[in-house]
């Protein structure tokens, strides 16, 4: 009765009867080592590569190899120098463009943007405003402070800057009396 499991077993001498990935070889009775089934093929491949490398070294002149390496390095250094020059030119061009900034008021005029103020009463105590003015450092802060002094509180605010101008749309809530929205409209229109 010969089964598949018996084919894979080892006989008394340590030889296997079946096909396995690794083979056991007795070195001594105590120590068993595993050897790859491709071990000899790998050794032959490495030896073949080593032989071919030795043949190539014999054919090639070492001076030629060094000369080619030097030429390649010089070519790379030239490419680096060209790219560095291009980078310096681009930086110089950018600096020239930055040196001639346009004033915000001039830019607004160039694009046809006019200062504008609109106020619309939404509810009894709410006012919606739209303001377009020249973009200046601290301009928005001054507007917020002025509205706060007049007794208005900003609830929904949107600020957008473009081409030297700032557009502010906001919803204001009156903190003092009901006549403030009318006064605000008069004050903003002036």
Would you kindly state where each structural domain of the chain is located, as residue ranges? 105-189
Query: In Å, what is the CA distance from 28 to each residue of 12, 32, 39, 101?
Result: 14, 7, 21, 89
**Residue ranges, the chain, pLDDT below 50:** 1, 190
pLDDT of 189: 59
For residues 157 and 145, what is the distance between their CA atoms, to the nearest angstrom? 14
Helices (H), the chain: 4-7, 39-59, 62-99, 104-110, 139-150, 180-189
pLDDT of 97: 64
pLDDT of 136: 83
Indicate the pTM of the whole model: 0.39
Homologous superfamily assigned to 105-189: ACT domain (3.30.70.260)
pLDDT of 107: 72
Query: In Å, what is the CA distance from 132 to each residue of 46, 74, 101, 157?
Result: 79, 59, 21, 14
């Amino acid at each position: 009765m010969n089964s598949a499991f018996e084919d894979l077993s080892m006989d008394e001498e340590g030889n296997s009867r079946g096909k396995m990935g690794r083979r056991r070889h007795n070195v001594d009775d105590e120590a068993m080592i595993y050897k790859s089934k491709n071990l000899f093929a790998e050794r032959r491949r490495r030896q073949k590569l080593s032989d071919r490398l030795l043949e190539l070294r014999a054919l090639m002149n070492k001076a030629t190899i060094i000369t080619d390496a030097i030429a390649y390095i010089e070519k790379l250094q030239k490419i680096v120098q060209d790219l560095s020059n291009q980078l310096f030119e681009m930086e110089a061009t950018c600096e020239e463009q930055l040196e001639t900034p346009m004033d915000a008021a001039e830019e607004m005029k160039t694009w046809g943007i006019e200062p504008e103020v609109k106020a619309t009463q939404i509810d009894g105590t709410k006012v919606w405003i739209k303001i377009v003015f020249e973009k200046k450092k601290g301009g928005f802060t001054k507007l917020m402070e002025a509205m706060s002094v007049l007794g208005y509180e900003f609830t929904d605010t949107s600020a957008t800057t473009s081409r030297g101008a700032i557009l502010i749309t906001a919803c204001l809530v009156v903190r003092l009396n009901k006549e403030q929205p009318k006064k605000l409209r008069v004050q903003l229109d002036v």
